[in-house]
Amino acid sequence: MALCSARVYAQTQLIQHFAGSTVITTTGDTLRGPLVLHVDKNVLMVTMPDGAIKTFPASSISVFAVKGNLSHYAPGRTGTQINRPAFGGSQWGMGVAHSAFIPRHHLGKFDTTQVRIYRTYYWQKKPTAYSPRPMPMFFEELTTGPVSLLQRETLVLGGPGLSGTNARGVLALAGGTRPKLYLYTKDKFVQLVHPKSQLKKHYGQQAKQLIQYARANKLTFVFPHHLAQIIAYSNSLAASAKND
């Protein structure tokens, strides 16, 4: 039974492949090359130009950017990928695509245009005997500023009838990914389970402006890339108020 459970766990870990990356370590070194991200283990592997593979835990990484994400092929019901800008991000130099780096059993296509930025944050849901202190984990930065929107993706498990919506507004079928979203302010995390009501509570009187902005721009409080635009707008209001 234990062996069976271990095999199921190994098969249900989220592993993402990217054709190009720029990685900055905590010691200041910069690495570039194809990258494999082991989301659940908070470990990344970079293939160097000479073919050597270097492995790093989250504690050794400051920030990294990736592009050339492999989209898994799902026959039949598929969503349309919506490219969202990385609000608050910067320009990153990326290498050329390395299609040979992707295992043959992964059928799909590359999104070669979107740059995604990840950073190491120390996060802890609640202290336990096994984890008494925050642990280094990779979070994707959807927008940054006084208030940041972060996400971690998880696998959608179960039968074909189970589905959700992933970070780029795509229908997530079983075997796809589903985002967990977090507001991050001053070393404090708040997981967004009911985004609209939680944002209203967080922003107080300013929430009315955000709701008006969302309506005017046909944004919802459902899709992560919409929430990123709304929170980026709130950060711009804070910056304007500070400059006045």
Q: What are the tens digits of pLDDT across the range 142-158? A: 999 999 999 999 877 65
Q: What are the tens digits of pLDDT across the range 164-201? A: 444 444 444 445 678 899 999 988 999 999 999 999 99
pLDDT band, very low/low/confident/very high, at 112 (cuts 50, 70, 90):
low
Higher pLDDT, 170 or 134: 134
Is the pLDDT at 163 greater than 60, yes or no?
Answer: no
pLDDT of residue 157: 65
- pTM, entire model: 0.75
Residue type, 43: V
Bridge partners for 164 per DSSP: 172
| Lowest-confidence segment of 13-22, 57-66, 109-118, 166-175 by average pLDDT | 166-175
Q: What is the 8-class DSSP label of residue 210? A: H
CA distance 243 to 238: 9
Task: Dig out the tokens for 89 from the structure.
Answer: 């991000």
CA distance 110 to 112: 6
SS3 207: helix
pLDDT of residue 13: 77
Higher pLDDT, 102 or 186: 186
| Lowest-confidence segment of 21-25, 108-112, 199-203 by average pLDDT | 108-112
Concatenating the DSSP letter of every residue in 64-116 gives EEEEEEEEEP-SSS-PPP-----TT----------GGGS-TT--EEEE-S--E
SS3 168: coil
Higher pLDDT, 2 or 29: 29
Q: What are the tens digits of pLDDT across the range 64-92? A: 999 988 754 333 333 333 233 344 434 44
Higher pLDDT, 214 or 70: 214
